[in-house]
Amino acid sequence: MHFLCLPAELAEGHSRGFTVDGTAVLAVRRAGRVYLYHNRCPHRGIPLNWEPDQFLDPSASLISCSRHGALFLIESGECVAGPCAGEHLSTLDCHEDSQGIWLMA
């Protein structure tokens, strides 16, 4: 397991980026649950964010690729709009407890 952050450091409706062993990942908290994905757009294989920790669209209801506007469901990583519609972000297993949010290796 790899420690990412304390639970309080990922607020409801927010996202954060992390690097674990050279791999870029993103975390989003929605409806009290944490979702974790590789920070890599399936369209171009590039990072989704332009600014640190900015992975969500203005409504904070979808993950957004800042490079070409693709939109992904937070709960599944499925692309619902943009050039990679129907493709998915690569999901990572995570665990949250009172001590932190963890990437399961």
Q: Which two tokens stand for residue 70?
A: 């693709």
Chunk the chain into consecutive blocks of 10 residues (it has 105) and report each block's average pLDDT, rounded to whole numbers: 97 97 96 97 91 95 93 97 94 97 93
Per CATH, which fold does 2-103 belong to?
Answer: Rieske Iron-sulfur Protein (2.102.10)
pTM of this prediction? 0.94
Per-domain residue ranges for the chain?
A: 2-103
What is the four-CA torsion angle of 54, 25, 19, 1, rounded to 10 degrees?
140
Quick one: pLDDT at residue 14?
97
Q: Which two tokens stand for residue 83?
A: 């050039």
Quick one: pLDDT at residue 101?
98
Beta bridge partners, 72, equal: 63, 79
